[in-house]
Structure 1
Amino acid sequence: MANYTKFWKVWLRLNLLTKDVDNDYTAEVSTMKNSLRNEDIAQRIVDEGSEIKYDTLLSIINQHDRIIREAVADGYSVLTKTCQYTPRVAGTWIGSSAKFDPEKHKVTLDITLSSEMRESLSHVGVEVLEVKDSGARIGLVTDTVTGLPDGTITPGDDIRIDGEKIRIAGDGAGIGVFFIDADGKEYPVTRRLTTNDPKCLLARVPSDLTDGQYTLRIVTRFSNTTTLLKEPRTIEYERLLTVGNGGGGSDRPEIE
């Protein structure tokens, strides 16, 4: 019998990718509210009794990350106690003399869990909470260029947004699809939506988005009736979307 010492709490959501099956669910991990960053990791090391000062620890952790970024950029495979980074170029090559084309090929990374991480996860159990409210929500975002739902998006190209009650309806400057950067600046989708249905949108990512992470926000007055909502409803995707290297030093990798 498994020796579980940690537990992930999960919500069940209807599977949007199997529309013909009514009783098919996927699990959504109820993660902690805030993502841990290097600053938090350094503080945890201090809290464990390290004699190294916080500022020194943070500098070392940041240096560790930088060296990994530089190494994979040089073509190295890097193995740490958490995972292995393996360089890969995605895309198809037509003919043996084909050249690299950034429009067709993508420089990326594969991540493989280390043996230490696999051992740690073997002690994690799962506690199912209940079926999560199927009200207005964004369930999945897919980059139509790469076909990946991993959170990466391509400026100037479309993303597919699957969800519930996400159709854009109503007039006004505040209605529509928006990308919000880390400073709170809004980048609206100005091109007419290719698809605008209650469960699916096809939206063109603004071409002026720079490398970084963005919150996807939908503001709509859509309701299930012929009467629009009196006040706009704001729906945000729970996962940050990433352009380029996310403002950091490495591309967002794919996890295998």
Structure 2
Amino acid sequence: MATILHKIKAYLYDNVLTKDNPNDFTARTASERSLNVQQICQSAANRGGADISASAMEHATELFLKEMAYQLCDGYSINTGYFTANTTIRGVFDSPSETFNKDKHSIIFQFNQGEKLRAEIPNIEVNILGIAESSAVILQVMDVKSGSVNDLLTPGRNLKIVGSKIKVTGDDASVGVYFVDATTQERTKVEQSDIVTNNPSEVMVVIPELAAGTYTIEVLTQYSGSQSLKEPRTATLDKQLTVA
């Protein structure tokens, strides 16, 4: 019997990703926060998970990640044991002589769990906290140009946002879809005319001309399903998105 070393808390949400059962739910991890390299190294040093200082571990990790990215850009596949990574070309080539076209094709990096990480799964206990409070939630986004889910953003192209109670509606001036720069916290609001589809479980927008960087996405809405809310509520995707 596996020893429980870790605990994950999760809430249940209406499953809008499948249509066959209107009464089923999907679990979403109640993540407290996102950890960066520095925080992970500091945690390892504090709990005895590293035999070097946090700063030395952080420096070595950054060197490793930089070199890994370099090798991925040369087309090599990566297998760390904890995750695998490879470079993938998206898009259709209409003839054997067609060359790569950045307006038609795209490059993405795909990461998947490795054997060492999978081996930790039996050591995790999942505590379902019940049905989440009836509020707006973003479950996933898809960059239509690249087909990337919860990862890439292609400025000027469509982004499909799937969730619950995310219809963009209300009289408050703050209502809308926002891309928030993860570094500067600058907020870029999607023009109303660039909201292509606007339904309770799916919103499609044209991605603004964002600079290269990392972003979070927010939907502010007064939609509740019955009557308009007095104050907007915010749905935020718990993953960061990248403009290359």
**Do the two structures share a fold, i.e. TM-score over 0.5?**
yes
Can you list the C-alpha shifts for 1:170-223, whole angstroms capped at 9, x where unaligned? 34542221111121211111151222233322211112x122222222223334
Provide the TM-score with structure 2 as the length reference. Answer: 0.85
Q: Which blocks of at least 5 consecutive residues in structure 1 are unaligned?
A: 246-256
Judging changes above 3 Å, is the alpha-carbon distance between structure 1 residues 12 and 171 closer, same or farther for their aligned structure 2 residues? closer
Residue 153 of structure 2 corresponds to: 153
Instruction: Give distance in 1, aligned partners of 2:49 and 2:187.
Output: 42
Identity of aligned residues (%): 28
Letter of the 1:36 counterpart: L
Q: Which blocks of at least 5 consecutive residues in structure 2 are unaligned?
A: none
Instruction: Give distance in 2, aligned partners of 1:242 and 1:106.
Output: 16
Matched, 1:196 2:201: no
Provide the TM-score with structure 1 as the length reference. Answer: 0.82
**What is the correspondence of 1:1-150 to structure 2 with a 5 Å cutoff?**
3-19=3-19, 21-31=21-31, 33-47=32-46, 48=48, 52-150=52-150
Instruction: Give distance in 2, aligned partners of 1:206 and 1:219.
Output: 17
Can you list the C-alpha shifts for 1:52-101, whole angstroms capped at 9, x where unaligned? 33333221111111111111112222221312222221222221111111
Whether contact under 8 Å (2:41, 2:58) holds in the other structure is yes
| Aligned-residue offset at 1:50 | 5.1
Instruction: Give distance in 1, aligned partners of 2:66 and 2:54.
Output: 18
Name which of structure 1's ranges 66-75 and 53-62 shifts more when overlaid on structure 2. Answer: 53-62
Whether contact under 8 Å (1:217, 1:234) holds in the other structure is no
Residue 238 of structure 1 corresponds to: 237
Residue 219 of structure 2 corresponds to: 218
| Aligned-residue offset at 1:16 | 0.5
State the superposition RMSD in angstroms: 2.4
Instruction: Give distance in 2, aligned partners of 1:49 and 1:27.
Output: 30
**1:206 alignment partner, one of 192, 199, 208:** 208
Equivalent residue of 1:36, what SS?
coil
Instruction: Give distance in 2, aligned partners of 1:151 and 1:66.
Output: 19
Judging changes above 3 Å, is the alpha-carbon distance between structure 1 residues 203 and 58 closer, same or farther for their aligned structure 2 residues? same
Whether contact under 8 Å (1:211, 1:242) holds in the other structure is no
Judging changes above 3 Å, is the alpha-carbon distance between structure 1 residues 100 and 113 closer, same or farther for their aligned structure 2 residues? same
Instruction: Give distance in 2, aligned partners of 1:113 and 1:139.
Output: 20
Instruction: Give distance in 1, aligned partners of 2:60 and 2:71.
Output: 16
Judging changes above 3 Å, is the alpha-carbon distance between structure 1 residues 141 and 113 closer, same or farther for their aligned structure 2 residues? closer
Judging changes above 3 Å, is the alpha-carbon distance between structure 1 residues 55 and 139 closer, same or farther for their aligned structure 2 residues? closer
Instruction: Give distance in 2, aligned partners of 1:120 and 1:223.
Output: 40
Judging changes above 3 Å, is the alpha-carbon distance between structure 1 residues 93 and 14 closer, same or farther for their aligned structure 2 residues? same
Instruction: Give distance in 2, aligned partners of 1:105 and 1:121.
Output: 36
Equivalent residue of 2:43, what SS?
helix
Instruction: Give distance in 2, aligned partners of 1:22 and 1:171.
Output: 31
Instruction: Give distance in 1, aligned partners of 2:49 and 2:122.
Output: 27
Name which of structure 1's ranges 60-69 and 11-20 shifts more when overlaid on structure 2. Answer: 11-20
Instruction: Give distance in 1, aligned partners of 2:123 and 2:224.
Output: 44
Instruction: Give distance in 2, aligned partners of 1:126 and 1:223.
Output: 30
